Amino acid sequence: MRKTSSKPPSGDILKKSENKKAAPQEESNHPKRKPGGQPGHQGKTRKGFGRVDRCEILRPSDCVCCGQKAFAAVAVKVEKQSVAQLVERPIEIVEYQRHTCQCDYCGNIQTASWPQDK
């Protein structure tokens, strides 16, 4: 006489013991490291192109708050971006200096836009 089980065939597979836990990691006096650069490690920074053939100053033209065109002569912040462009000579290095200036009329602080075609 054959007997059938109400248990599905997948239940016949031996299961690993769920009582086993992962081995505890070795406790040490050192705290876990945080992601990113670690204290004391010397980072690496891109050196750039080594030369600049032309420099363009980019200043805000119209205040987005009041529409005036007068900005303080001294920038609040200057950001630099070097771009290598193919020209008649093999490469021309252009450094754009994007100025952030304060409007003389309303005090709004505004940053010039980077050129779109570069």
Q: Which tens digit of pLDDT belongs to each residue from 22-68?
A: 555 555 666 677 887 788 887 777 777 777 888 889 999 999 889 88
Give the pLDDT confidence of 82-109 residue by residue, as tens digits.
Answer: 887 776 767 778 888 999 999 988 989 9
**Cβ pair 112, 99 in contact under 8 A:** yes
3-class secondary structure per residue, the chain = CCCCCCCCHHHHCCCCCCCCCCCCCCCCCCCCCCCCCCCCCCCCCCCCCCCCCEEEEECCCCCCCCCCCCECCCCCEEEEEEEEECCCCCCEEEEEEEEEEEECCCCCEEECCCCCCC
- Record the tokens describing residue 27, joined without a space: 């406790």
Residue ranges per domain, the chain?
A: 54-111
The whole model's pTM is what? 0.39
